[in-house]
Amino acid sequence: MRAPFGGPILTQTGLQPVLSALRHWNAPPPSAMPIHLYWGDDEAARTRAVEALIADRTDPAWQSINLSRLDGSDPAQAAQALEEARTPPFGGGDRVVLLQRSPFCSQCPAELGQQLEATLELIPDNCHLLLVSPGKPDARLRTTKALQKLVKAGIAFEKSFALPAIWDGAGQVELVQRTAAELGLRLEQAAAEALSDAIGSDSARLASELEKLALYLGATPGGAAGQQPAITAAAVEALVGSQAANALQVGDALLAGQPAEAIALVDALLAANEPALRIVATLSGQIRGWLWVSLLDKQGEQDVNAIAKAAGIGNPKRIYVMRKQIRGKGPAQLLELLSRVLDVEMALKRGSDPADAFRDGFLLAPAGR
């Protein structure tokens, strides 16, 4: 069974098993692996992993010689990375060659691809070629197949850093838990859910807010998690901005048939420099959650745990609140509401003024509907 809009139905795990499994999430890969493939759209987590590998493998006193940071969008720098990865380090520590925006698993010129294949088996064990890209490797490419072959053989190390979808509530809660574990912080389940509601999939802001919360409670980011005071939901409520909550209020106003109130709330968010597409993301996730609950209620599903699992909602108790919110509203009305929000998104991506896009989407009758 799959969720509407193409997403898989998600499973919800308990906090302790997740934290236990994630204690080694950010641990550096085995030192014998000279090739490292990091990919995914979670830039903040990718960056933390990159810096952890550099700190683990290189000697700070020799980094000026043994650490290279290159940009793979420039073919000359990509070729330079391959050449440097074959050169043994000088002095202490290993050599690390970091190639950001690596072309080797996306659009790679044939000549550069041949250079990669010739290089892969010539990299010394004390050199590390770190290939980083935001997109998932294209499995059809010859270069990707060559790298994947080395991963399966245990010669290369691959790690993905994918952000959860905006409607994936359970995935967003797991993102909070994983980030806290990486930073050596403890947090209560309710705090993880509150942070997920407030921040969503903005992993850079999430790490920043977790560090602020840690300082507020006297914890030390990077310390031993078992010795840290736990971050509480009350602390999240006190310190984390309420922008996401306000965006949810926009959805509440739309659901209540109050477009003028919704526009006033949007104007306040825009005036506070909240990105327009982030408002849309929050609204679309909120309405998709309502739609899930409505559809499953219509099918006679009564188990709130099953509904929460299908809808990707981290806390099953929220289902009771959502049922009250959509009482008297059917799936057709919620689909219409979602369609209006998606119209706003399309207008924004075409370059429309954000305030005009929201006004047109919320006030004008949709054509042909």
Specify the CATH number for the domain of residue 147: 3.40.50.300
Please indicate, yes or no, if residue 3 is contained in any of the structural domains.
no
142 and 37 within one domain: yes
d(CA 3, CA 7): 5
Q: What pLDDT was estimated at residue 81?
A: 95
320 sits in which H/E element = helix 318-325
Please indicate, yes or no, if residue 1 is contained in any of the structural domains.
no
d(CA 315, CA 164): 16
Q: What pLDDT was estimated at residue 220?
A: 64
List, as one string, the DSSP characters of 93-127.
B-EEEEEET-STTSS--HHHHHHHHHHGGG--TTE
Which structural domain, as residue segments, surrounds residue 230? 169-239
Please indicate, yes or no, if residue 26 is contained in any of the structural domains.
no
130 and 226 within one domain: no
146 and 118 within one domain: yes
254 and 179 within one domain: no
- Among 206, 239, 272, where does a domain finish? 239
Q: What pLDDT was estimated at residue 352?
A: 92
Please indicate, yes or no, if residue 94 is contained in any of the structural domains.
yes
Provide the greatest CA pair distance for the chain. 72
List phi, psi (to 5°) of 313. -100, 125
Q: What are the pLDDT tens digits along the chain (369 aa)?
A: 333 333 333 333 443 443 333 333 444 454 456 899 999 988 889 999 999 999 999 999 999 999 999 999 999 999 999 999 999 999 999 999 999 999 998 888 889 999 999 998 899 989 999 999 998 898 889 999 999 999 998 889 999 988 887 667 778 888 999 999 888 888 899 898 888 877 777 888 888 889 888 888 886 666 555 566 889 888 888 888 555 556 788 888 999 889 898 999 899 888 878 889 988 988 888 898 899 888 888 888 888 888 887 777 766 777 888 888 888 888 999 999 999 999 999 999 999 999 999 999 888 744 434
Q: What pLDDT was estimated at residue 105?
A: 87
- Among 141, 160, 179, where does a domain finish? 160
259 and 181 within one domain: no
Please indicate, yes or no, if residue 331 is contained in any of the structural domains.
yes
Q: From the DSSP assignment, how many helices (H) and strands (E) are in the chain?
A: 17, 5
Specify the CATH number for the domain of residue 356: 1.20.272.10
Specify the CATH number for the domain of residue 229: 1.10.8
155 and 188 within one domain: no
253 and 234 within one domain: no
247 and 232 within one domain: no
- Among 125, 160, 195, where does a domain finish? 160
359 and 250 within one domain: yes
146 and 182 within one domain: no
28 and 123 Cβ atoms separated by less than 8 Å = no
Q: What pLDDT was estimated at residue 93?
A: 93
Please indicate, yes or no, if residue 7 is contained in any of the structural domains.
no
Q: What pLDDT was estimated at residue 215?
A: 87
pTM of full prediction above 0.85? no
154 and 36 within one domain: yes
d(CA 13, CA 21): 11
d(CA 234, CA 82): 51
Counted domains in the chain: 3
Please indicate, yes or no, if residue 24 is contained in any of the structural domains.
no
Please indicate, yes or no, if residue 186 is contained in any of the structural domains.
yes
215 and 312 within one domain: no
At 346 the three-state DSSP class reads helix
